[in-house]
Chain A
Amino acid sequence: MQRRAILGYGAAGAGAVALMLFVGWWQVDGPGGPEPIGQRPVALTAMDFRLTDHEGNAVGPETLIGRPTMAFFGFTYCPDVCPTTLSDISGWLDDLGDEADEMNVVFITVDPERDTVETMAEYVGYFHPAIRGWTGPEEQIARVADGFHATYERVPTESGDYTMNHSASVFLFAASGRFVTMIDYHEPREFAVPKIRRALEEETEGAT
């Protein structure tokens, strides 16, 4: 009786240790690495929207299937967060070199009123050549944001203009369209580049 009780505690103890190890893995290496607590996007295959890229091509979620994808939201009138994210991404892509050649990198505007196809073309031209700029009618942008569980909001400024609050994370999808993880705004390169590699590696696993 006593012995069984001890065994019982032993099993519970082992279970607790296993749980702690699991939690440790989950936090350090697993999908629970540093990430905003917002909702995760659905798979690209479950999204439905029609946009135009900065070269005037019709694009949608199906455009992204078959290659791993890095996608993020912003607007070209954004003075701080968006150029910073675009330069960060350009830096990550430089770090990854050839590894990132087969990756979709998409900057989706949340301000289609000002960000026309021409505006997007001029803007993305200043950053890494892999970065594509997508825009479209407001109701289509809303559908993209829905699929990503991203939010955006138009906010008037004292200068009489407006600015946009928006989700600033970078979303990573596998070639299959499955959501892999996201890179929080300001996440150090030590975390960002390995996360991108995870999205890239998943493609290799699926292909073999």
Chain B
Amino acid sequence: MKKHILTGTLTALLTLGGLSVPALAGPEDVVVENAWSRASIGMNRPGAAYMTIRNTGDEPVTLIGLTTPLAMMPEIHETKTNAEGVSSMSPAGEIVIAPGESIALEPGGLHAMLMRLQEPMTEGDTFPLTLLFDDGGEVTVEVPILSIAARGPED
């Protein structure tokens, strides 16, 4: 896992490229790594974004929602697959991250569901996604848009 220095300048951050995008602002204790998403076909389908959210502080943090100019209804969702192999998806609600712990938004589990896209998600672009916490804190990450067939942040 890469360590990020949150005090780096915006220019320095942008030159880091697509793989791991640290938080640009907000609660110092929350570190977002390996953010990525898949390109969309047009704007009618919902998109999904993935990342690891780490709480490096001494207190639990509670993720309560998302905002992004890319989508009118961004929401943390969870995909579940039952014993019969049937997958379903529903809002995950608030997510508490214990001190020193991290949560993974990854395919087939938690994801940032991007409903009502305002523009197509184009491979090679990035978009800002803001995580909202219950104490009023916000963390904004720049999420790279990878190929529609990407399997992870490295693709």
Chain A residues close to B by CB (< 8 Å): 36-38, 76-77, 79-81, 83-84, 86-88, 90-91, 122-123, 126-127, 151, 155, 157-159, 161, 163, 165-169, 182, 184-186
Verify A81–B79 contact, CB threshold 8 A.
yes
Verify A186–B88 contact, CB threshold 8 A.
no
Across the interface, which residues of A come within 8 angstroms of B73, CB to CB?
158-159
Q: How far is the CA of A158 from the CA of B76 in the complex (A)?
A: 13
Q: Which of A86, A90, A158, A185 contacts B87 (CB 8 A)?
A: A185
Verify B116–A77 contact, CB threshold 8 A.
no
Interface residue? B85 (CB, 8 A): yes
Verify A185–B81 contact, CB threshold 8 A.
yes
Verify A90–B85 contact, CB threshold 8 A.
no
Which residues of chain B in 117-155 are interfacial with respect to chain A, using CB atoms and an 8 Å cutoff? 147-151
Q: A88-B151, A165-B88, A182-B85 known; A83 and B115 CB under 8 Å?
A: no
Verify B115–A37 contact, CB threshold 8 A.
no
Interface residues on B, range: 20 to 34
Given contacts A77-B46, A84-B151, A168-B86, 16 further A-B contacts (CB under 8 A): A38-B86, A79-B48, A80-B48, A80-B108, A81-B87, A83-B149, A87-B149, A122-B41, A126-B41, A126-B149, A151-B84, A158-B91, A165-B89, A182-B85, A184-B81, A185-B85
Verify A80–B84 contact, CB threshold 8 A.
no
Across the interface, which residues of B come within 8 angstroms of A91, CB to CB?
151
